[in-house]
Amino acid sequence: MAHEHHQEILDALHQCLVDCNICFNECLNDKEHADHLTDAIRLARDCADTCSFAEQLVTRNSQFHEKFLQFCAEVCDACAKACDHHGAMDHCKACVESCRKCAEVCRKYV
């Protein structure tokens, strides 16, 4: 993958990482609904970590980046599905949108 082609995937991965971390943090702080947000909290954290590692693999053109991007898309899909149940919350809505976009872009690069 040539460097000029990295920007789209790097932007999607980074935005997903940021929105998942925000969602994770906001859900943890929502003491009233924390019990109902457990799956979303876990998946947002998993997704943020997965996107972070995928970003590293892409930037160093690792031989494993394509396989990992496919896995990343799966994690993004799972996170979007979990957070979609809480779509009334702005941070969950942003997380769902970023995860769906990231999954789509990841699949373009595999």
CATH number for domain 3-108, candidates 3.30.360.10, 1.20.1270.360, 3.40.190.10, 3.40.50.2000: 1.20.1270.360
pLDDT digit string, tens, across residues 54-81: 999 999 999 999 999 999 999 999 999 9
d(CA 13, CA 4): 16
Please check whether residue 17 is in contact with residue 52, taking contact to mean a CB–CB distance below 8 angstroms: yes
Query: Of 82, 71, 26, 81, nearest to 49 (Cα)?
Result: 71
Q: pLDDT in tens for each of the 110 residues of the chain?
A: 445 668 999 999 999 999 999 999 998 888 787 777 888 999 999 999 999 999 999 999 999 999 999 999 999 999 999 999 877 789 999 999 999 999 999 999 98
Q: What is the pLDDT of residue 31?
A: 78
Query: Of 77, 82, 69, nearest to 98 (Cα)?
Result: 77
